[in-house]
């Protein structure tokens, strides 16, 4: 699915991308490696965010992780003065980590 995400979101053009379900950080890492200027990642699972923080450590100056449901996106963006984003991603599949 990563290849499809990169093709559709075209992060090489830069900009802020929102990962609504950051999980372990794989899609966010791919966006950043492909040229996204910044990523704002949401997740409800604190354990997943802890892992994502380690996964995304090389990009720590370009990523912000938010412990919240993606339904709070408007509130979070407004609080940061962000009026628009270059793209957004929500991987709504089941997390194997949460099932194990």
Q: In terms of Cα–Cα distance, which of 52, 51, 50 is closest to 39?
A: 52
Strands 16-19 vs 63-67: parallel, antiparallel or unpaired: unpaired
What pLDDT, on the 0 to 100 scale, is given for residue 48?
95
Mean pLDDT of the chain: 92
CA distance 94 to 24: 13
| Residues 77, 85 contacting (CB under 8 angstroms) | yes
pLDDT tens for each residue of 5-26 = 888 899 898 999 999 999 999 9
81: left (phi over 0), alpha (psi -120 to 50) or beta: left
* CATH value of 20-92 in 3.30.930.10, 3.40.930.10, 3.40.50.1950, 3.40.50.150: 3.40.50.150
Statement: the pTM of the whole predicted model exceeds 0.85: yes
């Amino acid at each position: 699915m990563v290849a499809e995400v990169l093709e559709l979101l075209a992060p090489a053009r830069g900009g802020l991308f929102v990962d609504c379900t950051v999980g372990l950080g794989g899609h966010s890492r791919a966006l950043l490696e492909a040229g996204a200027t910044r990523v704002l990642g949401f997740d409800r699972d604190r354990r997943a965010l802890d892992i994502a923080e380690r996964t995304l450590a090389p990009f720590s100056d370009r990523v912000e992780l938010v412990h919240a449901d993606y339904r709070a996106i408007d509130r979070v963006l407004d609080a940061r003065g962000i009026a628009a984003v270059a793209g957004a991603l929500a991987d709504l599949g089941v997390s194997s980590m949460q099932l194990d």
